[in-house]
C-alpha cells in the first residue's frame, strides 16, 4: 500500500482510498455479524483518531505562522479573515434554511405524537443535555484565549492554537530579517510534520475499520431502520446542498464540484470511516495548497472553517429541531422558525470544538427557544451517531469550497493550476513555487 501524493496517479488498487473503502466494508460486516467483536475494536479507531489529532495542532500552528510571516502586507491577512468569516456566516444561513425547507416539505415528525414527559434519558444523554443547557453562544469567544501557551496543544483547542499562531506569525513578520532563521526553521519543521503525517496516514484503513466496526456493533443496523426516513432525508438534503449549493459556488469559480470530490476522495473516505472531519484537516490543507491556493490563505481559512464553517451541522440543527417540534406536536409559525434559525446561528458557534458539539448545540437551541421540549432529543439520540458521519462529510466539503472561494476573492488562487489539479492532470510539483500570487513563499512540501 502507498499513500499517493497530490498529482500522482498510481494504479487504483495501490491508492489509499481503495484500502479505506475495503476497511469500511469489512468494519460494517464485522460490526453487524459479530457486534461484541465490533465494540471491542473501538480502541483501534480511537487510537488512529488520537494520532491524527496529535498532528493537527502542530500543522495548524506551523502553517499559519509560516503563511503570515511570509506575506508582504499584514493588512491582507486581516482582510482575508474578515472575508472568511463573512462567507462562513452566509454559508451557515443557507445550510440552515435548506434543512428548514426539507423538513417543512416532508414533515416526517407528524404522526409520532411523542409525549415529552414519557421520554427517559440515560446517563450519557443527560450529561449532553446538561452541557447544552449550560452552554452560551459566547462560549467560543471565551475559549479563544488560552490559560498558557502550551495547554491548547495538549488539549487540542484549535481556536486557541489559531489565536497563538496568528499573534506569533504577526510578530515574526514584524521583526523582519531578525526572524529569518526562525521562519526558516518553521518551514523545515513543517516539512518534517507532514512527513510524520504521511507515516500515520498509512494506518488510515486500520483506523476506519475499527471505528466502523464499533459504530455498527454498538448501535446496530436496526438503528438505521428505526428512523430510516429521517436519516435518509438528512443524507439526501446534505447531498443536494453539496451538489447544488456548493456546486453553484464552484460553478461561479469555473471549477467542477465533482472534480473536487474526486480529488479529495481519500480524505472524504477517512471522514466517513472515523465519523469526524478532524483527521482529514492536515490532508485538506496540503491538497488545497497543492491545488494552487496561497499558503497563507490555506493556513488561515481551513482551520478557522473547522470551527465556524459547519454546513453539515447547520443542516442537522434545523432539520432535527423541526422534526422534534413536529414529533411533539409543537406548532411553529414561519416567524418562529426564522427566530429559531437566528438562535441556531449563535448556539452552533457556542458548541464549536466541543465533544458531542452537534448534539449539545441542538439541546442549547431547544433550551433557549423554550417552545420545543428539550426532552425530545431522545427521539433522535439513537441515530445521532450515523448522522454525525454525514455532518462531518458536509462540513469537510464546505471548508474545501470555502477555501477555493476565498482564495479567488482574495486573488490568491492560481486558477489554471486549480482547474488542472482538480481535473486530474499531471501537474509538476515545482509549479507550486511558481505561483504568481505567492512569489515570496518558501518551497511547499507536497505529499508524504
- pLDDT by residue for the chain (448 residues), tens only, comes to 444 445 455 676 667 778 888 888 898 899 888 988 888 988 888 888 888 878 888 888 888 888 788 776 778 888 888 999 899 999 999 999 999 999 999 988 887 777 666 655 555 555 555 555 555 555 556 667 788 888 888 877 777 888 898 899 889 988 888 888 998 999 899 889 888 888 888 888 888 888 888 878 876 766 555 567 888 899 999 999 999 999 999 999 999 999 999 999 989 988 888 878 888 888 999 999 999 999 889 988 998 888 788 898 889 989 988 988 888 888 888 888 888 888 888 777 655 555 456 667 777 777 777 778 777 777 777 677 778 888 889 999 999 999 999 999 999 899 999 999 999 887 776 444 333 333 333 333 333 3
Contacts of 319 by beta carbon, 8 Å cutoff, 6+ apart = 99, 100, 102, 103, 230, 233, 234, 237
- Region class of 445: left (phi > 0), else alpha (psi between -120 and 50), else beta: beta
- Please give the distance of CA 362 from its chain centroid, rounded to a whole number: 18
CB 143 within 8 Å of CB 43: no
CB 217 within 8 Å of CB 37: yes
Distance CA 108, CA 227 (A): 10
Distance CA 443, CA 441 (A): 6
Distance CA 65, CA 2 (A): 30
Distance CA 151, CA 164 (A): 11
Listed in sequence order, the DSSP H helices in 220-369 are 222-226, 228-240, 247-252, 257-263, 265-274, 281-290, 295-308, 311-327, 334-350, 357-369
Among 251, 289, 263, smallest CA distance to 59 is for 289
- Region class of 119: left (phi > 0), else alpha (psi between -120 and 50), else beta: beta
Contacts of 125 by beta carbon, 8 Å cutoff, 6+ apart = 377, 378, 381
Reduced to 3 states (helix: H, G, I; strand: E, B; else coil), residue 413 is strand
Among 76, 43, 17, 100, smallest CA distance to 334 is for 100
Contacts of 287 by beta carbon, 8 Å cutoff, 6+ apart = 6, 263, 264, 267
Distance CA 72, CA 173 (A): 8
CATH class of 12-438: mainly alpha
CB 158 within 8 Å of CB 300: no
**Average pLDDT across the chain, whole number:** 80
Quick: pLDDT tens for 294-329. Answer: 988 998 899 888 878 889 888 998 998 898 888 888
Listed in sequence order, the DSSP H helices in 9-157 are 16-33, 35-40, 42-70, 74-106, 123-134, 139-142, 151-155
Question: In what helix (H) or strand (E) does residue 188 lie, and over which residues does it extend?
Answer: helix 180-201
Neighbours of 74 (CB within 10 A): 14
Q: What's the confidence (pLDDT) of residue 433?
A: 39
Q: What's the confidence (pLDDT) of residue 258?
A: 96
Amino acid at each position: 500500500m502507498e499513500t499517493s501524493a497530490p498529482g500522482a496517479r498510481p494504479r487504483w488498487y495501490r491508492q489509499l482510498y481503495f484500502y479505506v473503502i475495503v476497511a469500511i466494508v469489512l468494519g460494517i460486516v464485522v460490526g453487524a455479524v459479530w457486534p461484541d467483536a465490533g465494540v471491542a475494536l473501538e480502541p483501534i479507531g480511537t487510537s488512529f483518531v488520537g494520532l491524527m489529532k496529535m498532528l493537527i495542532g502542530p500543522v495548524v500552528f506551523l502553517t499559519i505562522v509560516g503563511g503570515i510571516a511570509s506575506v508582504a502586507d499584514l493588512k491582507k491577512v486581516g482582510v482575508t479573515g474578515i472575508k472568511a468569516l463573512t462567507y462562513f456566516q452566509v454559508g451557515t444561513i443557507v445550510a440552515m434554511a435548506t434543512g428548514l425547507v426539507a423538513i417543512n416539505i416532508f414533515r416526517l415528525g407528524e404522526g409520532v405524537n411523542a409525549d415529552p414527559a414519557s421520554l427517559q434519558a440515560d446517563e450519557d444523554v443527560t450529561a449532553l443535555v446538561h452541557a447544552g443547557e449550560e452552554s452560551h453562544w459566547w462560549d467560543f469567544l471565551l475559549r479563544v484565549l488560552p490559560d498558557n501557551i502550551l495547554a491548547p496543544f495538549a488539549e487540542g483547542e484549535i481556536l486557541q492554537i489559531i489565536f497563538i499562531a496568528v499573534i506569533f506569525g504577526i510578530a515574526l513578520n514584524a521583526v523582519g530579517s531578525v526572524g529569518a532563521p526562525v521562519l526558516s526553521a518553521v518551514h523545515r519543521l513543517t516539512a518534517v510534520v507532514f512527513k510524520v503525517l504521511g507515516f500515520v496516514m498509512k494506518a488510515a484503513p486500520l483506523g476506519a475499520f475499527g471505528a466502523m466496526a464499533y459504530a455498527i456493533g454498538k448501535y446496530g443496523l436496526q438503528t438505521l431502520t428505526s428512523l430510516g426516513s429521517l436519516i435518509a432525508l438528512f443524507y439526501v438534503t446534505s447531498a443536494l446542498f453539496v451538489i447544488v449549493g456548493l456546486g453553484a459556488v464552484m460553478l461561479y469559480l469555473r471549477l467542477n464540484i465533482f472534480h473536487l470530490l474526486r480529488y479529495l476522495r481519500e480524505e472524504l473516505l477517512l471522514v466517513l470511516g472515523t465519523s469526524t472531519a478532524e483527521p482529514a484537516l492536515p490532508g485538506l490543507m496540503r491538497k488545497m495548497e497543492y491545488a494552487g491556493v496561497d499558503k497563507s490563505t490555506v493556513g488561515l481559512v481551513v482551520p478557522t472553517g473547522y470551527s465556524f464553517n459547519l454546513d453539515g451541522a447547520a443542516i442537522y440543527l434545523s432539520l432535527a429541531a423541526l422534526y422534534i417540534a413536529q414529533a411533539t406536536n409543537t406548532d411553529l409559525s414561519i416567524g418562529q422558525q426564522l427566530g429559531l434559525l437566528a438562535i441556531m446561528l449563535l448556539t452552533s458557534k457556542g458548541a464549536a470544538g466541543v465533544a458531542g458539539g452537534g448534539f449539545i448545540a441542538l439541546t442549547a437551541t431547544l433550551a433557549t427557544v423554550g417552545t420545543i421540549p428539550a426532552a425530545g432529543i431522545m427521539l433522535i439520540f439513537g441515530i445521532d451517531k450515523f448522522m454525525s458521519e454525514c455532518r462531518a462529510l458536509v462540513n469537510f466539503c464546505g471548508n474545501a469550497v470555502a477555501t477555493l472561494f476565498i482564495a479567488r476573492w482574495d486573488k490568491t488562487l492560481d486558477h489554471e493550476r486549480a482547474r488542472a489539479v482538480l481535473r486530474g492532470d499531471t501537474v509538476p510539483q515545482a509549479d507550486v513555487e511558481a505561483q504568481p500570487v505567492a512569489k515570496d513563499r518558501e518551497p511547499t512540501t507536497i505529499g508524504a
